[in-house]
Amino acid sequence: MKTSISQTEMDKNLLVVTAIQGYAENHNMSESEVFEKFQANNMLSLIRNEYEALHTQPLEETVGFVEDVMKRYETA
């Protein structure tokens, strides 16, 4: 049985990928390292949950969003 993914789910995935790639580039990390870090800090679901607000902004804003949240985690 073929299952299709909705456009919204594909867009959420794009935001997650963009955030991982941008964070990796900004912090000189591999994308797999960032994925693990995001997973450990529940960032993947946070990005997906904030889709309604984030998808209205340029993709760079998603990277800025995760940068801000991760800074808060690291200083807490």
Is the CB of residue 55 less than 8 Å from the CB of residue 11? yes
pTM above 0.85, yes or no: yes
For 9, 35, 44, 57, the CA distances from 41, given in Å and listed in that order, are 21, 10, 8, 23
As a residue count, the chain comes to 76
For 28-61, write each residue's pLDDT tens digit.
Answer: 999 999 999 999 999 999 999 999 999 899 988 9
